[in-house]
Structure 1
Amino acid sequence: PHTHDDVGWLKTVDQYYYGDRNDIQHAGVQYILDSVVDQLLKNPDRRFIYVETAFFYRWWKRQSADVRRTVRRLVDEGRLEFVNGGWCMSDEATTHYSAVIDQMTMGLRFLNDTFGPCGRPRVAWHIDPFGHAREHASMFAQMGYDGFFFGRLDYQDRSRRRIAREQELLWRASDSLTPPMADLFTGILPNGYNPPEGFCWDQSCDDPPIRDDPDLEDYNVDDVVKRFLAIANTQAKVYKTNHIIMTMGSDFQYENANLWYKNLDKLIRYVNGRQANGSRVHALYSTPSCYLQELHRANLTWALKTDDFFPYADDAHDLWTGYFTSRPALKRYERISNGNLQTCNQLEVLGGPISRNGPFGKGDSQTMKKAMAVAQHHDAVSGTEKQHVADDYARRLAGGWLRCQVLVSNSLAALSGSTAERIYCDKLNVSVCPLTESSSKFSVNVYNPLARPVSWPVRLPVNGTSYKVSDAEGRSVDCQVCVCVCVNRGFAVNELVFQARAPPLGFTTYSVSLLRDGPPAASTRRRTPTAIQNKVRPPLCLCVLVLQFLRVTFDPDTGLLSGLSNLETKQTIKLTQNFYWYNASDGNNSKSDQPSGAYIFRPNSSTPFVISRTAKTETVQTSVLQEVRQWFSPWVSQVVRLHGDSRALELEWTVGPLPIDDDLGKEVITRLDSSIQTAEYFYTDSNGREILQRKKDFRPTWILRQSEPVAGNYYPINSRAFIKDEVDQLTVVTDRSQGGSSIQNGSLEIMLHRRLLYDDVRGVAEPLNETSALFPEGLVVRGRLLLSLDRPPTAADAHRPLAQQAVLQPTLTEEGEGACGRWSPCLQFSGLQAALPPAVHLLTLTQWDEDSVLLRLEHQFQSRESKENSRPVTVNLQKLFSTLEILGASELNLSANQWKDEMKRFHWTPQTGM
């Protein structure tokens, strides 16, 4: 018995909890928990499992002492069991592993603190996510779970597994961890997560109840038992042991638990009563951990799997790969919020108690932690919720960051000695910052959350034409003022650009002063490609960007990118880039009536439409940066940018509002076509961590019948993807989760934006047609891709740090005139005694309680990925921090809810030869 309670989907989290807006969907989580607890007390055989700690936490806070004692007893007796136990049931395609670990830690800590060992889940339970990531399985194994159950997998994969009786398997979820550290028993549920057909007894169901009075005309016990036995025997034929699991529940069920339990009591009694007549079926109330224990006792061998379960399809033309990109603005905001939360957590530790209650008031990190945890839900960052729910997720993230800003200001005041008011320019993506636009003198504080020094391009909207920038030691810093590439939302006409260098886990401060008699903004050269206007070809200097490490060439006839060179490694490849769109299917198709929607990507042609074969261009070339600004159409533009000391080429794209005059909708991609010989192979990350090899039209565990040649080859790209041959590797680092593929040899395409006019009939009942008050004609989305060109054996040494820096960007704060200068007590600070080695990433630094801190150090390189950086590394904790004294340390599992040396897991045996 179970309920599946989405932490937001068709209704907001609050609406689901309270049972509000039942005109949208009848669902009230508080009543489910009330009713289940009451019904469990009426029969000691009854069992129930609960998953979403975000809801249970809210309910628990409002219960009396008597109810709490009752629930603790039910948990101690195993009658109420928590499974999964995270704050939510996270999405597996569009979430970053660091955010998943955080939300799991939050939920499991509450259960641990409230119920002790009996409340600790032993089973991971992801019955609804739309495909399953290998990194999630690896994390669950390292969190101490004995097994993992889910409901959705590709219909072709399921069919093969049913025949081979491989619906239960051993998932080896890491190339780097020695087995069985990342081995996880994995079970595929027989009915998704719904009851067998005809056996749903919720108030939302239409199946007839068990009518067991033999004096009544409609007595149906014999029919019910016969159908149940037939289903049980059919199911037993496709699983390996004499134990089978039946999920009795579904979305927001058990609000009136009496309906379910009264009928289940009867079902169990009458089914087991047939044993007197030779029946071999025994039914009982159970839980996933009890079921898993019986499978373990069977002592069998299990098929081994080493890849993942993407992409997911539930029919030939129904590929759930659109949500990899759906709601790209929300996906970006979630990624920014993750970085903000890590900064907040770190500064709460480094600043000490004053950070929570200091000169700027009371701040906290908990509000942001809860908002980020909710955002990991499989209908949140995935982009598969209704619009008003997406707005609510964004509102929660914004509210959490406001509380964190107070904490960050208090902490920086304590560490720097400056109590001037700090300004947070949260709208720099649209070139808005009132302080920098209007002030003649201000300072910029750059906090770096990474445990290694970073060089970061600071871009600030200004209205002056020349500025002086000085670092923390008073030295002049090269800077440049350029004409602003804006989205017509701010009042700045220019941008001030300089390269900031921030110490590890620390901050540095730059002072900025307006030079009234300075030179004008960096001059630009504009040109229309000769393909458009038959003019004399411009000088070659207009078509080349060259700085310290990279050389970029452009075709003078089209204005498009044409080549990329790494000057350090002396590599050069042909590289063209352009923007395209796929027309979205409206469902009016002879092959299938499936349209594109929030979940499903279904183009009506395998060949995308090019937006423009040429780009109007404008160039900026200075010692600080070089840019080629490209305009492809009124709704697509891009800045190709080289910063002075960067080893990556930046592509800052702006797409929208997508025109919908064709009544179909558009799914916009950028495609990179290179001279690299890929042989149909490409590579994507798994939740931002380990890399998986992909091959076009291929699945490692079954023979694929490909029916959607584009959508069927799309995979989630959480932080990076690459193509390579024996000589060259081209890596693309993304700033949010996106879908992508390599449809042609040597090419890599990434979907940037989607706007659709039809619902894809997967429950959300709303087309993905985003607008807002600022953009009533459709959302404009801006993002960044970073391109690096390296030799394959050493490419990871470059792209892994790039990916980490894209996730954990520096936090900028500004102070007004006179607030900071060389007279300030401290303009530079590092929380570390020395930078960590390149292979080591400081994943978590957060306050645990008054006297302890939770620290996670991660080896961020895969096994055999790097000749130098894949080796083991030793870190001395006593010499780690500059301001913290380590009094002792104890090692926990990954989710910090169990001591590492006490973590015991079931051992599973793979089939011979695996």
Structure 2
Amino acid sequence: MSPGAAARRGRAGACGAAGRAGRGSLHPPAWLFLLWLVAGRTRAADYEACPRVQPDMLNVHLVAHTHDDVGWIYTVDQYYYGGQNDLLHPGVKNILDSVFAALQAEPSRRFVYVEMAFFSRWWHQQTNATQQAVQELVRQGRLEFANGGWVMNDEAATHYGAIVDQMTLGLHFLQKTFGEDGRPRVAWHIDPFGHSREQASLFAQMGFDGVFLGRVDYQDREARMKRKKMELVWRASASLKPPTADLFTGVLPNLYDPPKNLCWDTLCDERSIVDNPEDFQYNAQEVVDYFLRMAADQHRYYRTNHIVMTMGGDFHYGYANSWFKNLDKLIQLVNAKQENGSRVHVLYSTPACYLRELNKANLTWSVKEDDFFPYADGPHQFWTGYFSSRPALKHYERVSYNFLQVLMSNALAWLSGSIEDYSTCPGLNISFCVLSQISARFQVTIYNPLGRKVAHMVRLPVNEGTFLVKDPKGNAVTSDVVMNPQAETQIPIPELLFPASVPALGFSVYSIARVSRQNPKFHMPKSIPRHSNSDVLMIQNKYIRATFSAETGLLMKIENMGQKVVLPVSQSFFWYKASIGDRKLQQSSGAYVFRPHRRQPLPVSQRAEIYLVKSSLVQEVHQNFSDWCSQVVRLYRGQRHLELQWTVGPIPTADGWGKEVISRFDTPLDTKGHFYTDSNGREILTRRRDYRPTWSLNQTQVVAGNYYPVNTRIFIKDGEKQLTVLTDRSQGGSSLRDGSLELMVHRKLLRDDFRGVGEALLEQGSGLVVRGRHLVLLDAVDQAAAGHRLLAEREVLAPQVFLAPGGGAPYFQGAPRRTQFSGLLRELPPSVHLLTLARWGPDRLLLRLEHQFALGEDSGHNLSSPVTLNLQDLFSTVTITHLQETTLAANQPRESASRLKWTPDTDAAPYPPAAPVDPTTITLQPMEIRTFVASVLGELDPWSHREDPLDF
């Protein structure tokens, strides 16, 4: 053992003992003073705490980290505490305990942690003394937080509003707990399976200096390595003026795993470094020589004299000493070679410290303007199946996001002045709601989270009888009862329909009463025989006409009568045979990977049995394609789009084939290989079949390799017409031939794809039935933007419907009963979306406003122009007295926020200074989100019943 190693071990023992002795005390232990002397009064917040590097050497930054999924194969609790199951990794609690002890033992060690869902739980379980010790580690930069969100979110299936919310939650915890020292400077998205441009834009607006990625397409990686473009500037918005959404981006060399043969976790197989030459297991020289060769090889693909090596992996550091003692030896042994002329310097580092050295190199970096989808880790191995896997769960997430934006029952009680037993009806999509089906009298409260009034068609299952519906003023409202055939049971269920009008950021209360037990003349479904008197049948309202073939039952044509746009459209359901692997490549379709057996899908059926329903409020064509696939094509009165409610499942697999089911639209549009998808619900990206903007693609899967994530919409167009389909959840979609558009709605597979799940995408029993909606719009190209952008907003944040028996007690004595309420004194302009309104303290609100149109997106209606608002007298219950603008995640004041400056190889303006905020004139540029903490006077009870909605 060398003298240096012996000295370090002596310090480690002393510090470790002192740390253990200090636990449980309310006073800082003595070893904190020693660390203060060693580290000096450095701080993590401004990079001052970064370790010294050698300017004339190759600096190898070792990043000790763990990647801890917040729920995956096991639950969050199982991952946190661990278990006896051999398949279950060590618990995160044990990881953090172990890392904390290891950092105490040696002052040179550093560690990176990411997931605040786990860390915040661990933090609240610690003693005061341990918390103080951790705060000192954070201040010194030895414990660095990267990313800092509640989770490391996926980028393909996520909506931007949910991304902002979960990042705000995690960063708010860090700000409250560690102040500026705990603020992450680097986004760390090492495990998402492809990367979206909108995610990078959001990170830039949150104030991050850069992002590091683990997974990029294998062809993309190879091309970047050859051209030494593993690090770049990502221009993540086509609307925001550079460098507002510019983000330095680095592609890590080994995904996020340790280099080959250099993994010393208890989950790995490598032998520890033995540095005693007299030991028969001595391998130190072999490890050092291998490390130097590998470092030199990696350096060939990067541009500076700094490279990074990730030293960790999934749930690593359960026994942190195993990792750290080997890294200690590696650093000492490699650096000792400098005495013999080696020009390699190894050090404990962090993502932020590595990024800082890249910035100091003052190079010009290439610019990327597209995204990193789709992702493949080899030929025939496209991770595009998970865009649609678990469709019911994906819809649940979207509904949950909507619900979290709404006021809860206590707020409704305060606002309405009446304490009611409010309930929701989560089973409405299967025509089930207890209160409406058993009650002769009840109230319906519809809440609108948008900043503009909305018209909403309420549809509730009811029991027999006739009903009287009254609006908030007591006036009778037109209503209908229609019979809804249930494809699963073949038993029609009566459903009550009535149109509701709901003010901006408010609610309306409608009263429902059964006035007779006599069965009314229900609007019954009418069966259409195959050879009817007419070859076609139609449903239409003032704006839209849809034509169907009476022979096949399939949609034939859509007409936008207001714009005089007509388009032949054939829509039906198909399924791809799921590959089970072959002799050359045992790659099957699975939870992640999409690999169809053949290019051409098979039709579920060549024709559909159809039933027609018509009333004064709705016209419907019910299509039965098979006993496991059906659809209702619906057109409400006054609606400017066609609604397709599909029901798929249980998918049959008795024939031995897994099936991947799509809804496909075929048109004669000349699309020239192009189609368009949204990025996390915001900006639109152009897609081109069999093409990647940044490298020459060798296409190995013409179907799966052309699938992209669709969060809210996908469309095709020629020079005149545009066909847009909006989704109610994230799905995979594509245009595999000109004029065609398809969305994958459900998957049931018989094989695992060997990507970690360990089982096929196969539910127990007969399988899962999934019901969802596609909204179809046909427009002239120059008229399309306004319609699909605003409809997508209403779909994501649709009104929430609450039911109550009615007749509740007053909320407080003398409280007026309200049947209608708006939180705004005036509506927001159509281009402005109220993204966030949450209580942020005793007299403060967190307020986010966004311009939801892209630059040049809607010139016809002038919705892409900047817009100026007066916020001071906008809200009806509070008055804004002061605004402080912050970064997007609300963890930094905008005026004091600064980011590292990078030099792209294209033009970019200087970073704009933060202007003083005047609440009477807030201007939003296209695609701009502005975040404010607003001091207010007035009653805050409507917004939240908690002091701080993000308090833990």
**Normalized against structure 2, the TM-score is what?**
0.86
More off after superposition, 248-257 vs 542-551:
542-551
Distance 2:696 2:84 in 1: 46
CA contact (8 A) 1:437 1:492 kept: no
Letter in 1 for 2:415: L
CA contact (8 A) 1:612 1:632 kept: yes
**What is the correspondence of 1:281-320 to structure 2 with a 5 Å cutoff?**
281-320=344-383
Distance 1:492 1:727 in 2: 42
Distance 2:584 2:823 in 1: 60
Q: Which residue of 577, 601, 607 maps to 1:583?
A: 577
* Larger strand percent: 2
Query: Is 2:622 the counterpart of 1:629?
Result: yes
Deviations 1:299-356 (A, max 9, x none): 001111000000000011000000000000000001000000000xxx3xxxxxxxxx
CA contact (8 A) 2:446 2:801 kept: yes
1:491 CA drift (Å)? 9.3
Query: Is 2:542 the counterpart of 1:548?
Result: yes
Query: Is 2:799 the counterpart of 1:778?
Result: no
**What is the correspondence of 1:259-408 to structure 2 with a 5 Å cutoff?**
259-343=322-406, 347=407, 408=408
Query: Is 2:482 the counterpart of 1:482?
Result: yes
**What is the correspondence of 1:250-265 to structure 2 with a 5 Å cutoff?**
250-265=313-328
Distance 2:832 2:290 in 1: 57
Structure 1 match to 2:522: 521
1:557 CA drift (Å)? 1.5
CA contact (8 A) 1:466 1:521 kept: no
Query: Is 2:293 the counterpart of 1:230?
Result: yes
Give the secondary-structure state (helix, strand or coil) at the position aligned to 1:270. Answer: helix
**What is the correspondence of 1:593-742 to structure 2 with a 5 Å cutoff?**
593-742=586-735
Query: Is 2:104 the counterpart of 1:37?
Result: no
Distance 1:489 1:857, change over 3 A: farther
CA contact (8 A) 2:487 2:630 kept: no
Query: Is 2:192 the counterpart of 1:129?
Result: yes
Query: Is 2:862 the counterpart of 1:862?
Result: no
Q: Which residue of 829, 847, 852 maps to 2:844?
A: 852
Give the secondary-structure state (helix, strand or coil) at the position aligned to 1:887. Answer: strand
Letter in 2 for 1:134: R
Query: Is 2:264 the counterpart of 1:201?
Result: yes
Give the secondary-structure state (helix, strand or coil) at the position aligned to 2:881. Answer: coil
Give the secondary-structure state (helix, strand or coil) at the position aligned to 1:447. Answer: strand
1:586 CA drift (Å)? 0.9
Query: Is 2:871 the counterpart of 1:871?
Result: no
Letter in 2 for 1:582: Y
Query: Unpaired segments of 5 or more residues in structure 1?
Result: 348-407, 530-534
Letter in 2 for 1:258: N
**What is the correspondence of 1:761-910 to structure 2 with a 5 Å cutoff?**
761-771=754-764, 776-816=765-805, 825-867=817-859, 868-910=862-904
CA contact (8 A) 1:307 1:700 kept: yes
Letter in 2 for 1:627: E
CA contact (8 A) 1:509 1:827 kept: yes
Distance 2:761 2:84 in 1: 21
Give the secondary-structure state (helix, strand or coil) at the position aligned to 1:296. Answer: helix
Distance 2:771 2:321 in 1: 51
Query: Is 2:85 the counterpart of 1:4?
Result: no
Distance 2:78 2:292 in 1: 39
More off after superposition, 179-188 vs 591-600:
591-600
Give the secondary-structure state (helix, strand or coil) at the position aligned to 2:880. Answer: coil
Give the secondary-structure state (helix, strand or coil) at the position aligned to 1:223. Answer: helix
Letter in 2 for 1:538: N
1:834 CA drift (Å)? 1.1
Distance 1:877 1:791 in 2: 35
Distance 2:145 2:85 in 1: 27
Distance 1:336 1:489, change over 3 A: farther
Letter in 2 for 1:452: R
1:887 CA drift (Å)? 2.0
Letter in 2 for 1:795: A
1:819 CA drift (Å)? 5.8
1:778 CA drift (Å)? 0.9
1:21 CA drift (Å)? 4.9
Deviations 1:534-592 (A, max 9, x none): x3x3336x7101101101101122110000011111100000100000011111x2442
More off after superposition, 49-58 vs 589-598:
589-598
Q: Which residue of 74, 84, 89 maps to 2:137?
A: 74
Give the secondary-structure state (helix, strand or coil) at the position aligned to 2:135. Answer: helix
Structure 1 match to 2:45: none
Deviations 1:29-79 (A, max 9, x none): 111111111111121111100000110001000000110111001000011
Letter in 2 for 1:893: T
Distance 1:553 1:579 in 2: 18
Distance 2:71 2:562 in 1: 49
Distance 1:102 1:813 in 2: 24
Give the secondary-structure state (helix, strand or coil) at the position aligned to 2:412. Answer: helix
Distance 1:485 1:269 in 2: 74
Give the secondary-structure state (helix, strand or coil) at the position aligned to 2:895. Answer: helix
1:744 CA drift (Å)? 1.1
Instruction: Report the number of matched residues.
Output: 838
Deviations 1:703-733 (A, max 9, x none): 1111101000000000111111111111111
Distance 1:6 1:277 in 2: 43
Q: Looking at CA atoms only, which structure, 1 or 2, has the larger radius of gyration?
A: 2
Distance 1:913 1:863 in 2: 18
Give the secondary-structure state (helix, strand or coil) at the position aligned to 1:322. Answer: coil
1:794 CA drift (Å)? 2.5
Distance 1:848 1:674 in 2: 50
1:125 CA drift (Å)? 0.2
Give the secondary-structure state (helix, strand or coil) at the position aligned to 2:556. Answer: strand
Distance 2:806 2:321 in 1: 67
CA contact (8 A) 1:553 1:562 kept: yes
Structure 1 match to 2:533: 538
Letter in 2 for 1:849: G
Distance 1:594 1:528, change over 3 A: farther
**What is the correspondence of 1:39-54 to structure 2 with a 5 Å cutoff?**
39-54=102-117
More off after superposition, 214-223 vs 284-293:
214-223
Q: State the identity %.
A: 54
1:118 CA drift (Å)? 0.8
Distance 1:814 1:30 in 2: 42
Distance 2:202 2:832 in 1: 18
Structure 1 match to 2:932: none
More off after superposition, 491-500 vs 25-34:
491-500
CA contact (8 A) 1:430 1:490 kept: no
Distance 1:793 1:120 in 2: 44
Distance 1:259 1:432 in 2: 56
Deviations 1:477-525 (A, max 9, x none): 2211111233668998211112211111000111222242563111332
Q: CA RMSD in A?
A: 1.6
Structure 1 match to 2:499: 499
Distance 1:912 1:83 in 2: 28
Distance 1:27 1:528, change over 3 A: farther
Distance 1:566 1:518 in 2: 37
Distance 1:327 1:591 in 2: 29
Letter in 1 for 2:780: R
Structure 2 match to 1:354: none
